Amino acid sequence: MPPKQKFSREEIIAASLNITRREGLTGLTARGLGAELKSSARPIFTIFKNMEEVHQETIKAAKAIYSGYVQKGLEEEPAFKGVGTAYVHFSKDEPKLFQLLFMTEKNGISTELSDILPAIDENSNRILESVQKYGMSKEKSYKLYQYLWLFTHGIATLYATGVCRFTDKQVSEMLTEVFVSILRKMKEESEVENDD
Write out the chain's pLDDT in tens, 196 residues.
455 568 899 999 999 999 999 999 999 999 999 999 999 888 899 999 999 999 999 999 999 999 999 999 999 999 999 999 999 999 999 999 999 999 988 777 777 777 788 888 888 888 888 888 888 888 888 999 999 999 999 999 999 999 998 999 999 999 999 999 998 988 888 776 666 5
Please name the amino acid found at residue 193: E
Q: What is the pTM of this model?
A: 0.88
Q: Per this entry, what is the length of the chain? A: 196
Tell me how far the alpha carbon of residue 73 is from its chain's centroid. 12
